[in-house]
Structure 1
Amino acid sequence: MKCINKNIYKQIDYLNKLFVCDYRLLSSVHHNVSNSNNITSSGTTTIVAGDATQTEWNNAVPYELMPGPKPLPLLGNTWRFIPYIGNFEIEHIDQVSLRLYHQYGNIVKISGLLGRPDMVFVYDPDDIERVFRIEDSIMPHRPSMPSLNYYKHVLRKDFFGEDAGVIAVHGKNWHNFRTKVQQSMLQPRIAKLYIKPIEDTANAFVERVGLIRDQNNEMPDDFLNYVHKWSLESIAKVALDVRLGCLDEPSNAETQCMIDAVNTFFINVPVLELKIPFWKLFNTPTWNKYIKALDTITEISLKHINKALDNLKQGNVGSEPSLVQRILQSENNPKIACILALDMFLVGIDTTSNAVASILYQLSLHPEKQENLFTELQKVLPDKNTNITSKHMEEMPYLRACIKETLRMYPVVIGNGRCVTNDCVIRGYQVPKGVQIIFQHYVISNLEKYFYKPNEFLPERWLKTDAKAECKAHHPFASLPFGHGRRMCLGRRFADLEMQMIVAKMIRNYKIEYHYKKLDYFIHPMYTPNGPLRLRLLDRQS
C-alpha cells in the first residue's frame, strides 16, 4: 500500500499561521464548559545531600561492584544485542530480563552501552518505591528515546520548539507542558464525558469483526490490525472529535499508512537505542525508515488536527468538546493542543490495541473466566444493545479485574524507570547520577513471592472480596502497567475507559474461543502474542 506523499513542511507553515491568529473567538465557542481546578500529581522531595545521605553513600557498596554481565573492551555490552553473535535478543528481552534476574539477583548492572548511559535493572518493588521516592520530584527524568528526542528538538525543532509535548521531553519544558494539559487528561470525571464517542467506536468494531469472520467464525490473520484501527479511531474521536473511518469498508489507505508508520516507529526504537548507534554518525537505513515513519505520523496527524481547529474556529463542534477544544478553551494556545494530540497518536495506538488483543486472547484461553465475566455483564446489561453509562462501568469489577490480571502477566510495556538526577543508594549499592534505573515489571509481577500462583490467570486476585489466598493484598509497586507518579501515563484514564468498553462489548456480544497452539509472547513492538490471533467469535443469543 502506497502512503501519501510527505507534506510535513506545508502542514508546519499552515499551523504557524494558525498560531499567530487571534483565537479569542475560540474561547467563546464553549463558554459553558466549566474549568476544573488544577490537579497536582503526588510526589515527594528529591533527597538532598546531607549528613544522613552522605553517610548512607559512604557505607554503600561501590557501583563498580554491582553484579551484572561484564562488558568487553571497545564494544562494552552493546555486542550482546548484535544478531548472531549476541545473546540479548530484542524481541525476547522479557526472557533476557528473567535470565538476568535468576543469574544475578534483585539488582543488575548493564554497563558499557555505546552511546547511552548505563542501565540498572531492579527486581524488587521496595526498590522501585524507593526510586520513586528519591526521583519523583517536580521534574522527574524518565529514560526516553534519544532518537525521538533528536527528532523533536533538533531535526524538527522549527515545529516543536519549546512546546514539544511530554514524550521524550524533560525538565522545565516537560513540566510546563504537562501542567497545561493534565487538568483535562487526568480527571476521572472528564474521561467519563467521553463514554458515548468511545462506545460508538466500540460498537463499530463489534459490527466490523462480525462481518470479517470466515466460514468457521474465525478472525483473519490480520485481526490485530483491525484492533489497531479501532484504537486509532477512538483516539481521533476523543482528541479531535473527528471520525476517520478506520473501520469502514473499503478501508482507508491514509489511516492504514498511519498505523504502519506507528508500528515502524516502535519496531525501530530498540534497534536504534540498544544496538551500536551508527545513526548518530550517519543516516543508516533504519534511521531513514524511523524518520520517515515519524514524519508520516506527524503529517497525517496534523491534517486531522488542522481540520479540528478549523471546525472549532467556525463553531462546528459537537455537544461535548474534544480534548483539543478543551485545551484551547483553557489555554487559548492551538500549538499546545496540537502537540498533545500528536503525542496521543504517537504512543496511544499500539499500546491500547495490543493490550486489548492480549485481554481477548487470555479470555479465550480461560473460558471459565470469560463465562464469569459474561455473567457479570449480562446482569449489568440484560439487553446487549443497552448503551453503557458510567454507572454501568462502576458495576463491572470483574471486567476491571480481567484487564488488570492480563496486564500483570503480560504488560504491553514490560518495564519503565527513572534516570537518577542525584547520587543515590539502591539496595545497598552506590548508583551515581545519570544512570538509568529500569523497573522490570514483567519479571516482578510474575514472581511467586509477590503474587499467589503467578502463572495462573486469576482475575479474582484483584477483587479482594474474601480471605482466599489469591485475594491477598499485593505490593502496590509490583504491577504498574501505567507507571506511577508525576510521569504516569497521561492518557491512562482514556485508555482504561477504552479497554473496558471494547472488552465489555465484545464479551457481551460474542463467545470467544481459540483452537490452535498456544502463542508465546514477544516484543513486536509491544509485548504481544507471537502469531495470528485466529479467535473464533460465536454470537451470543441473549
Structure 2
Amino acid sequence: MRRSTYFHSNGVLQWAHRNSRKFSHAGPKSFSEQETSFATKPQVAVKEFHEIPGPKALPFVGTLWRYLPLLGEYKMDRLHHNGFRKLRLFGPLVREELLPGINVVWVFTPEDIEQVFRAEGRYPERRSHLALAKCRRDRPHVYNTGGLLPTNGPEWLRLRSAFQRDLSRPNCVKTYLPAIDEVIQEFLNKITPGHNGNDFLPELSKLFLELICLVAFDVRLDSFNQNSELSSRLIDAALSINSSILRTDNGLQLWKWFDTPLYRKLKRSHLVLEQVAVELVTKKIEILKLQNLNKTSHQPSLLELYLSSQHLDQKDVIGMSVDMILAGIDTTTNTSSFTLYHLATNINIQEKLYEECLKLLPDCKSPITAEVLSKAQYTKAVLKESFRLNPISVGVGRILSQDAILSGYKVPHGTVVVTQNQVTCRLPEYFSEPDKFIPERWIKGHQMYKSTSPYLVLPFGHGPRTCIARRLAEQNMQALLLKARHSFREREKETDRDKEIIQHTQGCIDVAETREIDGTSQRHSKEYSVSRVRPVTQHKPKTFASGTNNKQKTVEASVSLIHLELGGKWKT
C-alpha cells in the first residue's frame, strides 16, 4: 500500500505526501505553466449555493465514484492534483457533492480563505477522525473524550485552553532546547557514510519520535538503537491509524454499526499507542508522588504541569500524549525530508545556509540555544519556503458556523469548506517563479521579498484551532537544519572529500514509501513492557531501551532522498 497519510492534526485535511516527483510538479505541467489566472471581479449580486460550479454528481453515489481507481479522474493520494484540475475547470470556488446531501466547497483565493476563518466562530469545527473518536468513546475507563483531534464545541475549548496554556508559550518550549540539541547531536553522530543506503526517511521518523516523547513523557526511547522495537511499533502504529482516517471518515461508514476490517486495524494500532501512554504517564505520576514526599524542587516539565492542572485529569493527559505521537511524527518527518531535498538540489542555497551556520555556531557541536534560533533568519526562510512548496497539508478544513459569502456565492452555515493553499501557493498571481525554491522571498529587505497575504502559507492551520504544538515543531526542525548542515560540511572537510559528488540518478526525490503491516502480529494484541523506561529531566535526558520481543513489522521504503550518504556532500 502506498504510504499517503490523511491527517487532521491542526484542523486540516492533511496529507503527508510521500512522492516528491509528483509533489514537486502538480500535474503534467507546473501550476505556473497553465492557465490559472483568476482576478477578483466586482460582484453584482450574491448567487445561491446550488449555483456554485463543480463536478456533476450522480444519484445515490454523488461524486465519490470519481475517486475510484481506474474509473475516476481524481486520486485520493493526489489531492493537490485534484484541486488544480478543479480550479482550471470550474474556477476559484468549487462545490462537490461527494455523497447525496454531503457537500464540500473547495476554496482557492486568499480573500475567500480569510472569510472562511472569519466565519468559524468561538468553537472552530471540523469533521475528522470520526472512527478515532468512536474508538476512544468506547473506552471511557481510559479517555474522557475523543481528544483534541476529533472533538468539537465546548469540550474542545476546555481541552485546548488547558493544554495550550503552556505548550504555546515560547519560554516554556525553549526550556526543552538543551535536551533537543542533545538528541539531534546524538542522531547526527549515528549517521555514517552509506548509512541505510539511500533511504533516510525512517531515520527521521525515529528522530522526531524521540523528540516528541521528550515532551509527551519526559523520557528517551533510545530510538536510534537498531534493536529498539518499541520505537518501530509506535511509528508503525501511528502510520496505520493515519492511513485509515480517510477511508473511515468517508464512504458508507459501516464501522459505526459493526467492526469492519479497517476499523479493527485502527483499534489494534491505537491500542499500541495507548498501552505505552498509560504506562509512561502512570510511572510519571508515581515519580511525582515520590518527589512530593521528598520535597524535591525543580523546574516542572509540560507533562508535570498537565498532571498538576486543576482543569485536566489523567485521562485527558493520556489522550493528549497519544495525540502528540499520532499527529507529530509524519508531519515533521515529511517536512524535514522535503526541506533536505530542496537543499540538496539547490547548491547555492545550501551554501547560504552554511554561511549562517558559521555565524551562529562556532563548530558543528556547538549547542543550539534560543538566541541562536532567534538569529537564524535564513534557516527560517528555508523552512517557510519548503512549507510553501510542500506543505504538511493541501489546505485547512472547517465547518462554517455561520453563513459566508465566498466569491459572490452564499455558502450556508454547516457547510464543510476546504481551502486549497497548496494549489494557490503555486500560482504566479501570488508568487513570482512559483515552482522555484527561493527562500529569499521571505526575507524582508531582500529584492525578492514581496508582501503576501497571511492566508496563503498555512502549514499549521490558522486561528484558534491552529496546530497546538506549532512552536515546538518549528523549533525542532530549525534546530535540525542548522545542526545537520554544519555537521555534514565539517565531515566533508575531515574526510577530504570536497571533490566527490554524490550521483543523483533520478533527478527528483521519490518519496513513495510503502509500509506493510504484518497481519499476524496485528491480530494478536500482545502486551509489551516499557518497564526499562527511565525518566529524564529536561536538561539531562538519559537513554533506555525497551524490553520487547514482538515480531517487527516489515517496512519497505523507496525514498531516494538526496542520495546524500550523509558523510559526503549534499551536492547532487
Same fold (TM over 0.5): yes
After superposition, residues 484-523 of structure 1 pair within 5 angstroms as 484-511=462-489, 515-517=504-506, 518-519=508-509
Of the two structures, which has the highest relative contact order with CA contacts closer than 8 Å and spacing of 6 or more? Answer: 2
What is aligned with 1:35?
none
Superposed CA offset, 1:296-326 (max 9, x none): 2222222222222222222299954321112
Shift of 1:59: 4.8
Structure 1 residues not aligned, in runs of 5+: 1-56
Structure 2 residues not aligned, in runs of 5+: 1-42, 493-501, 516-556
Which amino acid in 2 is paired with 1:159? V
What is aligned with 2:403?
423
Shift of 1:244: 0.9
2:199–2:558 contact (8 Å) kept in structure 1? no
> The residue matched to 2:459 in structure 1 has which SS?
coil
| Aligned CA distance change for structure 1 residues 64 and 366 (closer, same or farther; 3 Å) | same
Which amino acid in 2 is paired with 1:142? R
2:143–2:318 contact (8 Å) kept in structure 1? no
What is aligned with 2:211?
234
| Aligned CA distance change for structure 1 residues 238 and 298 (closer, same or farther; 3 Å) | same
After superposition, residues 375-524 of structure 1 pair within 5 angstroms as 375-466=355-446, 468=447, 470-511=448-489, 515-517=504-506, 518-519=508-509
> The residue matched to 2:102 in structure 1 has which SS?
coil
Shift of 1:482: 0.8
After superposition, residues 261-300 of structure 1 pair within 5 angstroms as 261-300=237-276
What is aligned with 1:103?
89
2:510–2:560 contact (8 Å) kept in structure 1? no
After superposition, residues 347-362 of structure 1 pair within 5 angstroms as 347-362=327-342
Aligned partner (choices 139, 160, 169) of residue 156 of structure 1: 139
Shift of 1:282: 3.7
Which amino acid in 2 is paired with 1:148? L
1:242–1:308 contact (8 Å) kept in structure 2? no
Q: Does 1:94 align with 2:80?
A: yes
> The residue matched to 1:108 in structure 2 has which SS?
strand
Identity %: 30
What is aligned with 1:134?
119
Superposed CA offset, 1:111-144 (max 9, x none): 1426x83211000011111111121x22111232
Superposed CA offset, 1:423-475 (max 9, x none): 32222112122211101111011111111211000000111223x2x311111
Superposed CA offset, 1:52-92 (max 9, x none): xxxxx995211111111111111111112222222221111
Rounded to whole Å, the distance in 1 between the matches of 2:208 and 2:297 is: 21
Rounded to whole Å, the distance in 2 between the matches of 1:58 and 1:145 is: 40
Q: Does 1:531 align with 2:559?
A: yes
What is aligned with 1:220?
197
Which amino acid in 1 is paired with 2:139? R
Equivalenced residues, count = 469
> The residue matched to 1:247 in structure 2 has which SS?
coil
2:398–2:417 contact (8 Å) kept in structure 1? yes
Which amino acid in 1 is paired with 2:130? P
Aligned partner (choices 278, 282, 286) of residue 310 of structure 1: 286
Which amino acid in 1 is paired with 2:375? E
Rounded to whole Å, the distance in 2 between the matches of 1:79 and 1:186 is: 42
What is aligned with 2:60?
74
Superposed CA offset, 1:172-193 (max 9, x none): 1000111111111111111111
1:324–1:338 contact (8 Å) kept in structure 2? no
| Aligned CA distance change for structure 1 residues 117 and 320 (closer, same or farther; 3 Å) | farther
RMSD of the TM alignment (CA)? 2.5
Aligned partner (choices 177, 197, 200) of residue 182 of structure 2: 200
Q: Say which structure is richer in helix.
A: 1
> The residue matched to 1:230 in structure 2 has which SS?
helix
What is aligned with 1:259?
235
Rounded to whole Å, the distance in 2 between the matches of 1:476 and 1:359 is: 21
Shift of 1:344: 0.9
Which amino acid in 1 is paired with 2:179? P
Rounded to whole Å, the distance in 2 between the matches of 1:253 and 1:530 is: 21
| Aligned CA distance change for structure 1 residues 301 and 222 (closer, same or farther; 3 Å) | farther
TM-score w.r.t. the length of structure 1 is 0.81
Which amino acid in 1 is paired with 2:305? R
Rounded to whole Å, the distance in 1 between the matches of 2:81 and 2:297 is: 48
> The residue matched to 2:566 in structure 1 has which SS?
strand
Shift of 1:530: 7.3
Rounded to whole Å, the distance in 1 between the matches of 2:129 and 2:346 is: 37
2:396–2:420 contact (8 Å) kept in structure 1? yes
Rounded to whole Å, the distance in 2 between the matches of 1:222 and 1:184 is: 36
Superposed CA offset, 1:269-298 (max 9, x none): 122234443434543322221221122222
Rounded to whole Å, the distance in 2 between the matches of 1:498 and 1:514 is: 29
Rounded to whole Å, the distance in 1 between the matches of 2:421 and 2:77 is: 17
Rounded to whole Å, the distance in 1 between the matches of 2:369 and 2:416 is: 42
1:246–1:255 contact (8 Å) kept in structure 2? yes
After superposition, residues 184-199 of structure 1 pair within 5 angstroms as 184-199=166-181
What is aligned with 1:329?
308
What is aligned with 2:347?
367
Rounded to whole Å, the distance in 1 between the matches of 2:302 and 2:182 is: 17
